Amino acid sequence: MLKSLAPIEGNQQPLLQLLWEDKEVKFDVPQLQKNLRSGERVLDYIYHIEDSKGNPGDTGRLMVTNLRIIWHSLVHKKYNLSIGYARIGNTNTRVVHMHSKARIASQALYILAVSNETRFEFLFTDVSGETSRRDQPIFASVFDVYHLYQRTYLYRDLKLRGAIVQAGQLVILPDEQVFSHVQGVWNLSSDQGNLGSFVVTNIRLVWFADANETFNISLPYLQIESLRVRESKYGPALVIQTAETGAGYVLGFRVDPAERLNELFKELSSLRAIYGEQPNFGIQYNANDARRRLEAAAEEAAQTSQFKVDNFEELDERQEREINTKLNSYLAEGCLGKVPSQGERAPVYCKELGFAMEPIRDGYKLQDLWNVMPTKMETME
């Protein structure tokens, strides 16, 4: 994207640890469950779980982190799995029967994952034997965290042309702090360049065009492979190389004057280094709080269900008392579908309705058929 670039010595920044944990499926990595990357946190543990596909009979443990699902055997320490959330295509729970004489029903977590054009199926089964006695779904935290991961991609991934700017202002993420707003920044991705602005935060670098704010880029520091100042045919430029997981772009920006460019480079380098020590992946989840919310929701649902039944019964009784007595009399005239016998009234054509009907008895009008419920005036009377 940039031409005639020559490096300026002494300003290249070291690489950050490449983020792969949420984007790959791995098997039997030594000490996998003990070697979490910086910023990765275990949000929930689920015990007594069997990897029914690959390691049947081995009891293990599921670790739900903010980047992936880890299963490791408690019987054979070398057996483990790592499933990044970005590789999950489908997931649900199933009821399976454990291989025993009692044929005990148990809950299982099914995951379909796709990695390097290969489809993997995983089935993690609760072998505790207590599925039927659990008040909550055992795998609830897996679904909660997975959904949170899907909604927080701006913390981790490069985004082009996103809805991240409104009326010239960056839409701030939770826990995000803006450190500087730099105007007059030329994006050198095209020959003529595009004039726009930088927004520098503690999580990412954002550029958007002044003429069209939907022409933008959101670049988390974690996706920056290298950051440097280089000479170009446009003069000194800030050159950013994104990581392979960030599509491997080379982005160039010109900032005037040159002194401001050097200040910006130092600021970005410092923030990137700080972020690399303790990345924020955007997922805030407390398993205990989630369980309490589930318990409260279940109790409320039970109370609401009972309340609705009671109300329905009371309403039904009132409606029975308030049903128009003329209609009740009319409906009592015979059975539906009965063929008229001798002495009964034959159907007649009704011009207002456009079809044949049994004649209305004397003293009643056609309008009486529609007054199933009393009108407001009748009720007030």
Residue extents of the structural domains in the chain: 17-156+281-341, 173-277
Range with top average pLDDT, 38-47, 101-110, 187-196, 349-358: 38-47
**What CA–CA distance (Å, rounded) separates 201 from 283?**
18
Contact of 283 with 40, CB cutoff 8 Å: no
Residue 135 is predicted with a pLDDT of 57
Residue 204 CB: number of other CB atoms within 10 A?
A: 26
Residue 84 is predicted with a pLDDT of 97
pLDDT for residue 375 is more than 60: no
Q: In what order do the strands lie in the sheet with 216-220?
A: 6-7, 224-232, 235-242, 250-255, 178-187, 194-201, 204-209, 216-220, 159-160
Residue 358 is predicted with a pLDDT of 77
Instruction: Collect all residues with Cβ–Cβ distance below 8 Å to 79 and sequence separation of at least 6.
Output: 28, 51, 54, 55, 58, 60, 72, 73
Q: What is the DSSP letter of 15?
A: P
| Average pLDDT, rounded, for the chain | 80
**What CA–CA distance (Å, rounded) separates 279 from 282?**
9
Secondary structure of residue 122 in the 3-state scheme: strand
pLDDT digits (tens, 9 = 90+) for 180-189: 999 999 999 8
**What CA–CA distance (Å, rounded) separates 55 from 73?**
8
Residue 63 CB: number of other CB atoms within 10 A?
A: 20
**What CA–CA distance (Å, rounded) separates 123 from 4?**
53
Residue 323 is predicted with a pLDDT of 41
At the topology level of CATH, where does 173-277 sit? PH-domain like (2.30.29)
Among 50-54, 210-214, 231-235, 322-326, where is mean pLDDT lowest? 322-326
Contact of 96 with 125, CB cutoff 8 Å: yes
Contact of 50 with 125, CB cutoff 8 Å: yes
Q: State which H helix or E strand residue 261 sits in.
A: helix 258-277
Residue 2 is predicted with a pLDDT of 42
**What CA–CA distance (Å, rounded) separates 266 from 264?**
5
Beta strand pairing status for 42-51 and 159-160?
unpaired
pLDDT band at 304 (very low <50, low <70, confident <90, very high): low
Token pair in block for residue 280: 């924020």
pLDDT digits (tens, 9 = 90+) for 264-279: 999 999 999 999 999 9
**What CA–CA distance (Å, rounded) separates 171 from 201?**
12
pLDDT for residue 86 is more than 70: yes
Instruction: For residue 257, say if its preceding peptide bond is cis, omega within 30 degrees of 0.
Output: yes
Beta strand pairing status for 250-255 and 178-187?
antiparallel
Among 18-27, 84-93, 318-327, 346-355, where is mean pLDDT lowest? 318-327
User: Exposure of 84 by Cβ count < 10 A (0-12 exposed, 13-18 middle, 19+ buried)?
Assistant: buried
Contact of 50 with 127, CB cutoff 8 Å: yes
Contact of 71 with 45, CB cutoff 8 Å: no
Token pair in block for residue 245: 């997981």
Among 48-62, 70-84, 187-201, where is mean pLDDT lowest? 187-201
pLDDT band at 35 (very low <50, low <70, confident <90, very high): very high
Residue 102 is predicted with a pLDDT of 54
Q: Where does 17-156+281-341 sit in CATH, by number?
A: 2.30.29.30
Rounded mean pLDDT of 35-60? 93
Instruction: Collect all residues with Cβ–Cβ distance below 8 Å to 133 and sequence separation of at least 6.
Output: none
Q: Do domains 17-156+281-341 and 173-277 have the same CATH topology?
A: yes
Of 55, 62, 49, 52, residue with least CA distance to 76 = 55
Q: Which one is predicted more confidently, 212 or 9? A: 212
pLDDT band at 311 (very low <50, low <70, confident <90, very high): very low
pLDDT digits (tens, 9 = 90+) for 353-368: 777 777 777 666 777 6
Q: Which one is predicted more confidently, 110 or 131? A: 110
Q: What is the DSSP letter of 112?
A: E
pLDDT band at 314 (very low <50, low <70, confident <90, very high): very low
